[in-house]
Amino acid sequence: MSAAVHVIRRDCAPLATAGESAVQDAAPRMTVADLPSRSRILLWAMRLLAENRSNWGIVQQELWLCCGIARVESVLQALEEFLAILALEGRRPLIMKPSDTRRMSAGEQAVMALIAAGERGERARLAAHARWLVRPLAQRDLVAQALLLGQGFADSDVSRHA
């Protein structure tokens, strides 16, 4: 796991940056329960990693149970690279809520929307979310990792029950 992931901020109350307060006010307040199962697992994994790097073993185990042994390595690698891109190239700090919090921050909602657009193959939405999240040179890489994360859950038991 790269040290870059630790740049992601974990906070109980998101801090608005210039222009972000309008996005937060306009966006409906989502909770973790509003997400499909696979997205809840990914969000939980990201939150655990933001809280403490020593949680990597728990994340590996959960993803192994959800994705299966054949896909877990590719999902873990995509998750690590996805978070590193967000940490290094993000336009604003990504505020991660504690892992046991039901509400989602505006940044978490944007990340989950990016991954959902990738799962559905919505190229225009993928590009729009990537533009909002990261600088121009990193957008292609972020989209690629989001697509890999979505493919990791394809045809899994979790995907069929979502």
Domain-located, residue 15:
no
pLDDT 10s digits, 54-103? 777 877 887 887 777 778 888 888 888 998 999 999 998 888 888 888 99
> Which pLDDT belongs to residue 53?
66
Sign, CA torsion 63/68/73/74:
negative
Average pLDDT for 13-22: 38
In this structure, are residues 149 and 118 in contact, taking their beta carbons and an 8 Å threshold? yes
Query: Is 142 inside a domain boundary?
Result: yes
Q: Does some domain include residue 17?
A: no
Considering the domain boundaries, does residue 11 fall inside one?
Answer: no
Flag whether 81 is in a domain.
yes
**Cβ atoms 96, 47 nearer than 8 A:** yes
pLDDT: which is higher, 21 or 36: 36
Residue 1 lies in a domain: no
Average pLDDT estimate for 10-34: 52
Check residue 144 and give its pLDDT.
92
Give the count of domains, the chain.
Answer: 1
What is the Cα–Cα distance from 98 to 105, expressed in whole angstroms? Answer: 10
Q: pTM for this one? A: 0.73
At residue 10, does pLDDT exceed 50?
Answer: no
Instruction: With respect to residue 14, please indicate whether it lies within any of the assigned structural domains.
Output: no
For the stretch 93-117, pLDDT in tens is 888 888 888 999 988 999 999 988 8
**Residue in the structure block whose two tokens are 């909002």:** 132
Domain that holds residue 149: 31-161
